[in-house]
């Protein structure tokens, strides 16, 4: 029997072989000696040693020297490390660890990948062969939401390359685009200060996502079918709107987003279509107060109209051109028509109030237009009151002004 701290003869021979290979790989120039068969052999040793350790942990009577097994494992990993130094071929072979069935192996592989990625290596992901690695990391994130390293690879590395994001997006199915957009939402929502490169990166993301939203916005109307029906393209549209709402909430980038061609028009047109669809038949876009306290809304389109109004309000913030554009597109009555509580669209009234405030700030024409609507009883005066606005008549002209506080 081997003494404590020593491996049996067969295992000792394996350890010496691994050590020798690690030494050769460390000295090799160029570092391309290890073939795929070598990695398979190391994997077999790792699997065998880890199995012995696992069994020893389960059975205290099992005669296994843990220190010796751990030493063998350490040498295997040292060998793998040396094989990958300055050797793109071997680095590529190790990426297959991302497809391994063991979640811990995948997590460790993501950790190493995160540590190794710098801006230059991120650019290399644009190569079709390397793009598959980014696709695999996204799959890891989707399947293992608790995987912190796959999350960080995207939010702290890959999302810094707009070209890579666009290349990935083109390769993904609609179902796969949803987690990518969720990662972008997480990145946009960060409160940490941006670096000097971030503004340009952010603007390129915004332009791309705005284009995607304009291309797919009509798909959301498919959700007017049977209750619970889901359409993958419609789900992507919903997530795109979520990200755009968050982006337009960032003042440091707002002017760029307000100038994006077609985005405001698309938001108004989509709001009009969904609002009309909700009036023509009972569906997810129909305003309702029927949900009880015990019921929960689970439809993916919950809040979609609220977010459209939020986006419109953001795009009109202190922007005279966009304020006038909403007037010209007859969007003001549309927004006023949503100034009521709707259980299918939480906070829709609050976002409508916010949008009207932004539409009327230092814009006399919009103020007068809303005043005329109220005078003709086409607008709800209680909604105006909730906005802190009231109608005044001055020199035969209706004026929208701030509501005076009544004495208590």
Contact indicator for 41, 29 with CB cutoff of 8 Å? no
CB atoms within 10 A of CB 21: 21
Q: Which pLDDT does position 343 carry in this prediction?
A: 87
pLDDT in tens, 166-217: 999 999 999 999 999 999 999 998 875 444 456 789 899 999 999 999 999 9
pLDDT in tens, 234-287: 999 999 999 999 999 988 779 999 999 999 999 999 999 999 999 999 888 998
Rounded to whole angstroms, how far apart are CA atoms 314 and 264? Answer: 10
Greater confidence (105 vs 14) lies with 105
Scan for tokens 């190794």, then name that residue. 116
pLDDT in tens, 341-366: 888 898 998 999 999 999 999 999 99
Task: Please state, for a pLDDT cut of 70, what percent of the chain lies above it.
Answer: 72
Q: Which pLDDT does position 4 carry in this prediction?
A: 46
Q: Give the chain as a 3 state SS string.
A: CCCCCCCCHHHHHHHHHHHHHHHHHHHCCCCCCCCHHHHHHHHHHHHHHHHHHHHHHHCCCCCCCHHHHHHHHHHHHHHHHHHHCCCHHHHHHHHHHHHCCCHHHHHHHHHHHHHHCCHHHHHHCCCHHHHHHHHHHHHHHHHCCCCHHHHHHHHHCHHHCHHHHHHHHHHCCHHHHHHHHHHHHHHHCCCCCCCCCHHHHHHHHHHHHHHHHHHHHHHHHHHHCCCCCCCHHHHHHHHHHHHHHHHHCCHHHHHHHHCCCCHHHHHHHHHHHHHHHHHHCCCCCCCCCCCCCCCCCCCCCCCHHHHHHHHHHHHCCCCHHHHHHHHHCCHHHHHHCCCCCCCCCCCHHHHHHHHHHHHHCCCHHHHHHHHHHHHCCCCCHHHHHHCCEEEEEECCEEEEEECCCCCC
46's tokens = 């790792």
Instruction: Tell me the pLDDT band of 297, cut-offs 50, 70 and 90.
Output: low
Greater confidence (200 vs 407) lies with 200
Calculate the CA 33 to chain-centre distance. Answer: 41
Rounded to whole angstroms, how far apart are CA atoms 360 and 323? Answer: 8
Q: Which pLDDT does position 253 carry in this prediction?
A: 79
Q: What mean pLDDT is predicted for residues 329-349?
A: 90
Rounded to whole angstroms, how far apart are CA atoms 399 and 407? Answer: 22
Scan for tokens 């047109």, then name that residue. 269
Q: Which pLDDT does position 231 carry in this prediction?
A: 85
Greater confidence (62 vs 309) lies with 309
Instruction: Tell me the pLDDT band of 13, cut-offs 50, 70 and 90.
Output: low
Q: What mean pLDDT is predicted for residues 134-156?
A: 91
Contact indicator for 379, 373 with CB cutoff of 8 Å? yes
């Amino acid at each position: 029997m081997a003494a404590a701290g020593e491996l049996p003869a067969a295992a000792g021979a394996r350890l010496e072989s691994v050590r020798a290979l690690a030494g050769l790989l460390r000295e090799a120039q160029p570092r391309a000696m290890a073939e795929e068969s070598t990695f398979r052999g190391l994997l077999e040793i790792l699997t065998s040693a880890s199995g012995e350790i696992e069994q020893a942990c389960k059975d205290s009577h099992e005669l296994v020297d843990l220190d010796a097994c751990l030493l063998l494992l350490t040498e295997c990993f040292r060998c793998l490390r040396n094989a990958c130094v300055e050797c793109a071929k071997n680095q590529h072979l190790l990426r297959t660890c991302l497809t391994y069935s063991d979640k811990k192996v995948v997590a460790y592989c993501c950790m190493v990948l995160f540590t190794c990625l710098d801006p230059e290596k991120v650019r290399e992901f644009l190569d079709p062969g390397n793009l598959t690695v980014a696709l695999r990391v996204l799959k890891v994130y989707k399947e293992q939401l608790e995987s912190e390293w796959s999350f960080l690879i995207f939010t702290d590395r890959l999302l810094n390359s707009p070209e890579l994001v666009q290349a990935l997006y083109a390769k993904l199915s609609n179902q796969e685009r949803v987690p990518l957009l969720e990662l972008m939402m997480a990145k946009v929502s960060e409160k940490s200060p941006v670096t000097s490169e971030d503004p340009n990166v952010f603007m390129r993301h915004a332009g791309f996502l705005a284009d995607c939203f304009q291309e797919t916005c009509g798909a959301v109307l498919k959700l007017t079918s049977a209750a619970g029906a889901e359409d993958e393209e419609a789900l992507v549209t919903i997530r795109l709107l979520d990200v755009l709402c968050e982006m337009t909430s960032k003042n440091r980038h707002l002017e760029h987003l307000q100038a994006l061609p077609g985005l405001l028009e698309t938001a108004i047109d989509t709001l009009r279509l969904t609002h009309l669809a909700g009036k023509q038949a009972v569906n997810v876009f129909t305003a309702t107060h029927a949900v009880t306290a015990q019921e929960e809304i689970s439809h993916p389109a919950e809040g979609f109209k609220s977010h459209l109004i939020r986006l419109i309000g953001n795009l009109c913030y202190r922007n005279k051109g966009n304020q006038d554009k909403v007037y010209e597109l007859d969007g003001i009555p549309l927004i006023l028509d949503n100034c009521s509580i709707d259980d299918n669209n939480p906070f829709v009234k609050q976002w409508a109030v916010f949008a009207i405030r932004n539409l009327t700030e230092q814009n006399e024409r919009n103020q007068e237009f809303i005043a005329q609507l109220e005078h003709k009883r086409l607008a709800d005066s209680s909604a105006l009151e909730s906005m802190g606005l009231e109608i005044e008549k001055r020199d035969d002209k209706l004026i929208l002004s701030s509501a005076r506080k009544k004495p208590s």
